[in-house]
Chains A and B, each alone.
Chain A
Amino acid sequence: MARHPHDPKNQKQGLIGQPVPLIDARRKSTGQAVYTDDIKLPGMLVGKILRSPHPHAMIRSIDTRAAEALPGVHAVLTGQEAPNRFGVLPVSQDETALAVDRVRFVGDGVAAVAADDEATALEALSLINVDYEPIRAFLKIEESLEEVPDELKLHTKTVGNTNIHKQVQQDFGDVDGAIDAAKWSKRQRFLFPGVTHAFTEPLCTIAHWNADDRLTIWSAQQVPHYLHRALATVLEIPMHRIRVVRPTVGGGFGGKSDPFPHEMVCALLTRKCRRPVRILFDREEVFYNNHGRHPSKIEIALAIDADHKISGLDIDALIDGGAWGSFGVVTTYYNGVLANGPYRLPSFRYRGRRVYSNRPPSGAMRGHGAVNTRFAYEILLDEAAHDLGEDPADFRIKNALSSYTKTINEFRITTNGIVECIERACDASGWKDKKGKLPFGEGIGIAGGFYISGSALPIWWDDIPQSTVHLKIDYDGGVTIHSLAAEIGQGSDTMLAQITADVLGLSIDFCRVLTEDSDTAPIDLGSYSSRVTFMAGNAVRRAAEDMRRRIIQGAADVSGYPTELLVMEDEHVVSVADPNVRIPYLNAVRRAMKDVGALVTTGCYSSAPPMGGKHKGAAAGLSPTYSFQAFVVQTKVDLLSGKPRVTEVWAAHDCGRALNPLAVEAQIEGCVHMGLGQVLCETMDYHKGNLENPNLLDYRTLSPSETPNIHPILVETLDPEGPYGAKECGEGPLLPVLPATANAIWDAIGERFYVLPITADKIYRALLKQKKQGRYGKRPFSDQSEKSPAR
């Protein structure tokens, strides 16, 4: 019987949905992958940056003469030589390559050298004499709210005479009315210290201003295109004279998604001495570069009506941006607007304020802007459920957003797997048999989540597509995939190859993915906001489908069969009508090349159709689709020491469609590990202006010994706009980990914690208090004890 070529049921199982090992896994695990620091260029110099020992000071003068005179030193640079400001957001162009007139945190770059070797470079730095005038430092978040004279403002563009960088306000429905009429309401403050990405590969950049008067820069980057733009601004040269190369990246998590000062410095140094210069950070410098999750104080009020439905949510977020703007304007919005799912909100009010302070800059980090508010929201939901006698899982289902709806702040919701996520996580974990029924010290908790799958609008509002992919097939039949989509370990190269191979009916080894070089790859805006699979995935699919049309035409020309009945599978073009028609792939390709040579196609993804409201900040949080997730976490608290241990995580995530289940599961596992770090042990501790723990011994990420059993549950809702129905899976799965853990700790010992991280000493103290009050070890627990009024 003839098969219809366009009926999916009749098509051979391709690569989509198959567990495909990442195509760079062998290279990485054998040491063959080339990271930036592996690149050795003839005559390459070592670049080093002199850093400020003061949190806030004016620079009176810098004397570099002795450093310049030191043998082996080839260039010395100060901030005055490159005062042009840059930044990842057009509205926050507030960074310079080096401090121009003031330093803003301990670790801020002041001067730089390029020398023959590291020892000479370090000696040269010690010879640079900087005359500082220390001024008042802003080290507590509230201090930045004060009105201050101009000279104490960290940047000229702030809110009034304060050090507030950005203030936003949104108001939908009658929140106050909802709180007044509520059957249950509570207002609670939460405190979140800053955390950082702790990626494995330290930041590294090599720059070479070569004999052709062109700059090439190799850098550990998630957003090579934004680096490209910033370099042009700072160096005042046209973009076409700059080539940006992104070698293999050892993890990013948002920590490599800004154009960075050291990248500017490296480029400026090579321009001065015309020799290749390498800047490799030590771990302490990585901590000073930071751009991690904002330290945050979040106050949140939740109202529940008589039907046990959420009636109002009021959020006030005060976040510490550190010295620079970075992604902070977006973060300020995200701390509020991303609370508009996965539950229905009839009223919502948000005030967000981000301040500048004399601390290392905060920025984007996995789950950008949504993580801390999500924690606060899901804790209060849990408290409400317990107080109202509701099962926390059923309570969340009762309040879930539906599919194909609009939130009160006018997010367009399409596919939505939240209910399936909750149900499957509960089924897999044995929720009903465990909740409230485990021995004292053991507990189970649930939380939901909701995240964007790519920002609907690009950062720079211009007309170019968000993602473009070029394909090229030549005589050898291999498919070369060009795109600037940044592989940072998340598997985007594999995704591009997998979709291409699937469309063309080839095995994946036909594909070679070249995503490193801005000279050859068309622009993709980069790996941020969980956009790559959705956007570059759509782009590559379009390019591959165009390629398929051309190859099928070649096959039709060879065989005389009409193109309408031809499909590509198993390295052949075959007819769905006649099994005897089977043209080898290479024959079809070579015929298609007649008169045109190599086959070249292109595919794009432009921004989603217009959506969103007209209110101020309406664009923030708009996404072509959203991911949903619900996790159940089981925990066991050591009752002797208070040490909390997460033993099991059932992690259900609506990824639209798992193009590569292996990669989706790996992303979920990574999110769980990272989220547990923030809730259980990670914190950037400061003593006045100094970060106390700028190293990976004292900044504690979760070790393998504490990593729980993780059970990923893939929920597929087949998004109509995602490639093959896919949406993001790299960030959303981080969101429920933290609150589900805290809720599980409550179920274990009946204690709430509103300050992260939840460490053994805090639990020990709480248990001691229980013993004194005679309630130690007694179920059921009550959440009522420390309730404060919502108004």
Chain B
Amino acid sequence: MILPTFELHHPTTITELVEIARDLTAQGEAFDYMAGGTDVLPNYKNRLNPRPHVISLARLAGLDEIGVDRIGARALVDDLARSSVLSEHYPGLVEAARSVSSPPLRNLGTIGGNLLLDTRCWYFNQSEFWRESKGYCMKADGDVCLVVPQKEICYATYSGDLAPVLLVLDARVTLVGPDGERTVPLREFYAFDGITRFLKGPAELLTAVDIPSSSRELRTGYRKLRMRDTIEYPVAGVALALHTDGDKVGRLEVAVTGTEAIPLWYGDLDLTGQPATPATAEALQEALVDRVTCYRNVPFPPGYRKAMTGEYARELFSALVG
């Protein structure tokens, strides 16, 4: 498969990048930002919403630092996976990074790209020939959803591994665009359906991820359901952050990925103050399964994926209690 034709832009500074984005926007030209390209390019090859312009981040300097408070958007997933700072404070984030795809792709993919990963679906991640044969879906070239036949929203599945951990850590993302810079809590960033996905303007660039110092008291973990141990998106993933207050749950944060169109933060599921016991772990399992919905558009039956979010939450809770 060959790539469609597009014009490639190579800014070397953020200022230059913002200028290019502003100019293209003014001209009504659509574009994508591209860092590692591990998500963008396969989709382009399948002719999934390719744009006439691509702004590459390859020649930008910086934006790749990894610190306890701030991670640059261009930090490689593999560097997260090997970071001793993160391993010390946020082992759950390191676990999630290690579980992303395979070593070669972790070496290209960035934290920013992983957070902004496009949603996935059997009826979407296919070649143009396949989609023409089956009938196009609303996410690309069509106007209906083939998973849940209707015309309103897209049920494609969010499949990033890092987002749920950053959600439980209450991370914030910094966005830079023609209208300046702003910071958005990740918990408010993801929204709507499998097409819109998040509150980022098309010209805005995600530049950094900040983790509040208050999150350092949390113990974190991540569990991922996948058929194989490698080269897999999560078809259900659970992140937990826990702070125990004596033998009680002081703080609990729960988030999932691989279930619906966006990663979902469920807060503490009303378990703060409960004893840190197996019974609470089971209550957590039950409460989470009650809230999770899965659709039949990625591997494994929805019922199993849903059940596994509960199993993993229970197991993870017990592991974090120690």
Q: Which residues of A contact B (CB under 8 A)?
A: 51, 53-54, 106, 118-119, 122, 282, 284, 640-641, 681, 687, 689-690, 692-694, 697-698, 700, 702-706, 759-761, 764-765
User: Are B304 and A703 touching (Cβ within 8 A)?
Assistant: no
How close is B160's CB to chain A, nearest CB, in angstroms? 16
Q: Which of A51, A282, A640 contacts B1 (CB 8 A)?
A: A282
Interface residues of B in 219-240 (CB under 8 A from A): 225, 227-231
Q: A360 → chain B, closest Cβ, in Å?
A: 13
CA A761 to CA B307, docked complex, whole Å = 10
Binds A, one of B74-82, B127-135, B192-200, B256-264: B127-135
Question: 17 additional contacts, CB 8 Å, given A681-B227, A687-B122, A694-B130?
Answer: A53-B129, A53-B133, A640-B315, A641-B225, A641-B308, A687-B134, A689-B133, A690-B130, A690-B133, A692-B122, A694-B126, A700-B227, A702-B228, A703-B228, A703-B229, A703-B231, A705-B229
Determine the chain B residues whose CB is within 8 A of the CB of A704 once the complex forms: 230
DSSP majority for the B interface? loop
CA–CA, A54 and B299, complex, Å: 25
* Least CB separation from B233: chain A residue: A697
A705 touches B230 (CB 8 A): yes
CA–CA, A13 and B227, complex, Å? 49
Query: CB distance A681 to B228 under 8 Å?
Result: yes
Point out the residues of chain A lying under 8 angstroms from B229, CB to CB: 703, 705-706
A689 proximity list for chain B (CB < 8 A):
133
Chain A residue at smallest Cβ distance from B314 = A640
The answer to the question of B95 belonging to the interface, with a C-beta cut-off of 8 Å to chain A, is no
Q: Are A51 and B129 in contact (CB under 8 A)?
A: yes
**12 cross-chain CB contacts under 8 A:** A53-B132, A119-B2, A284-B127, A641-B311, A681-B227, A694-B126, A694-B127, A698-B125, A698-B299, A760-B227, A761-B300, A761-B301
Kindly state the separation between the CA atoms of A703 and B299 in the bound complex, as whole angstroms.
Answer: 16
**Distance in angstroms between the alpha carbons of A51 and B130 in the assembled complex:** 10
Enumerate B1-59 residues with CB–CB distance to A below 8 Å.
1-2, 5
Q: Is the CB of A700 within 8 A of B228?
A: yes
Docked complex Cα distance between A706 and B227 (Å): 10
Max chain B C-beta neighbours (<10 A), residue from A118, A690, A704: A690
Q: Are A703 and B300 in contact (CB under 8 A)?
A: no
Alpha-carbon separation in the docked complex, A141 to B5 (Å): 43
- Distance in angstroms from A211 CB to nearest chain B CB is 31
Shortest distance from the beta carbon of A357 to any chain B beta carbon, whole Å: 17
Contact status of A703 and B230, CB under 8 A, knowing A640-B311, A641-B311, A759-B300: yes
Return B230 CB to nearest CB of chain A, in Å.
Answer: 5
Who on chain B is nearest to A125 by CB? Answer: B129
In the complex, the answer to whether A106 meets B133 with C-beta atoms within 8 Å is yes
| Shortest beta-carbon distance from A209 to chain B in Å | 26
A705 touches B304 (CB 8 A): no
Q: Tell me the complex Cα distance, A118–B312, Å.
A: 47
Chain A positions within 8 Å of B227 at CB level? 681, 700, 759-760
B93-140 residues with Cβ-Cβ distance < 8 A to A are 122, 125-127, 129-130, 132-134
Cβ distance A701 to chain B, nearest Cβ, rounded Å: 9
Q: Which residues of chain A are near B311, meaning CB under 8 Å?
A: 640-641
Interface core residue of B133, B225, B230, B300 (most chain A CB under 10 Å): B133
Chain A minimum-CB-distance residue to B236 = A641
Do the beta carbons of A690 and B134 come within 8 Å of each other? yes
Residues of chain B within 8 A (CB-CB) of A693 are: 122
Q: Is the CB of B304 within 8 A of A761?
A: yes
- Could you say which residues of chain B place their CB within 8 Å of the CB of A54? 133
Closest to A122 in B: B2
- Interchain CA distance A748-B78 in the complex, whole Å: 36
Closest residue of chain A to B101, judged by CB? A697
- Counting from the closest, the 9 A-B pairs by CB-CB distance are A705-B229, A53-B133, A761-B304, A703-B228, A705-B230, A703-B230, A282-B1, A690-B134, A118-B2
Measured CB to CB, the closest approach of chain B to A274, in angstroms, equals 26
B102 smallest CB distance to A (angstroms): 8
Given the complex, which residues of A lie within 8 Å of B126, measured CB to CB?
694
Task: Tell me the complex Cα distance, A86–B127, Å.
Answer: 30
A764 to B299: give the CA distance in the assembly, Å: 15
Q: By CB atoms of chain A within 10 A, which of B2, B132, B301, B304 has the most?
A: B304
Chain A residues whose CB sits within 8 angstroms of the CB of B225 once the complex forms: 641
B231 and A765 within 8 A (CB): no
Give A353 to B104 CA distance when docked, in angstroms: 46
Distance of A765 Cα from B2 Cα, bound (Å): 42
Closest to A757 in B: B227
Within 8 A of A (CB), among B164-220: none
Quick one: which of A641, A697, A704 has the most chain B CB within 10 A? Answer: A641
Closest to A117 in B: B2
A38 vs B147: C-alpha distance when bound (angstroms):
41
Given contacts A284-B129, A764-B304, A764-B307, contact A697 B231 (CB under 8 A): yes
Taking CB atoms, residues of chain A closer than 8 Å to B129 are: 51, 53, 284
Residue ID in chain A nearest B307 by CB atoms: A764
In the bound complex, what is the Cα–Cα distance between A284 and B128 (angstroms)? Answer: 11
CA separation between A282 and B133, bound complex, in Å? 17
CA distance A697 to B228 in the complex (A): 11
Complex contact B300–A760 (CB within 8 A):
yes
Q: Whole-angstrom distance between the alpha carbons of A351 and B299 in the complex?
A: 35
Closest chain B residue to A54 by CB distance?
Answer: B133
Chain A positions within 8 Å of B300 at CB level: 759-761
Q: Which residues of A contact B1 (CB under 8 A)?
A: 282
Name the distance in Å between A231's Cβ and chain B's nearest Cβ. Answer: 27
Please indicate which of the listed interface residues A681, A702, A760, A761 has the most CB atoms of chain B within 10 Å of its own CB: A761
Cα of A54 to Cα of B132 in the assembled complex, Å = 10
Cα-based distance from A122 to B128 in the complex (angstroms) = 12
A687 cross-chain contacts in B, Cβ below 8 A: 122, 134
Bound complex: CA A702 to CA B232 (Å): 12
User: How far in angstroms is the closest Cβ of chain B from A671?
Assistant: 19
**Complexed CA–CA distance, A700 and B2 (Å):** 23
In the assembled complex, the Cα of A704 lies from the Cα of B103 at a distance in Å of 12
Tell me, rounded to whole Å, the shortest Cβ–Cβ distance linking A92 to chain B: 27
Q: How far is the CA of A660 from the CA of B315 in the complex (A)?
A: 49
Q: A697–B225 Cα gap in the complex (Å)?
A: 16
Taking CB atoms and an 8 Å cut-off, the chain B residues in 293-322 that contact chain A are 299-301, 304, 307-308, 311-312, 315
Q: A690 to B131, alpha carbons, bound, how many Å?
A: 10
Q: CB-nearest residue of chain A relative to B4?
A: A119
Q: Is the CB of B127 within 8 A of A765?
A: no
In whole angstroms, what is the CA distance A118 to B300 when docked? 37
Task: A694 to B46: give the CA distance in the assembly, Å.
Answer: 12
* Residues of chain B within 8 A of A284, CB atoms compared: 127, 129-130
Chain B residue nearest to A53 (CB atoms) is B133
User: Distance (Å) between the CB of B222 and the closest chain A CB?
Assistant: 14
CA distance A702 to B230 in the complex (A): 10
Could you tell me the distance in whole angstroms from the C-beta of B48 to the nearest C-beta in chain A? 13
Within the assembled complex, what's the spacing in Å between the Cα atoms of A277 and B62? 47
Chain B residues within an 8 Å CB radius of A703: 228-231
A697 to B38, CA, bound (A): 13
CA distance A704 to B228 in the complex (A): 10
CA distance A761 to B228 in the complex (A): 13
Across the interface, which residues of B come within 8 angstroms of A692, CB to CB?
122
Assembly CA distance A760 to B127 (angstroms):
29
Inter-chain contacts of A759 with B (CB < 8 A): 227, 300
Find the A residue at minimum CB distance from B129: A51
Q: How far is B124's CA from A692's CA once the two chains are assembled, in angstroms?
A: 11
CA A644 – CA B133 in complex, angstroms? Answer: 36
Alpha-carbon gap, A689 to B5, bound state (A): 31
CA distance A416 to B129 in the complex (A): 51
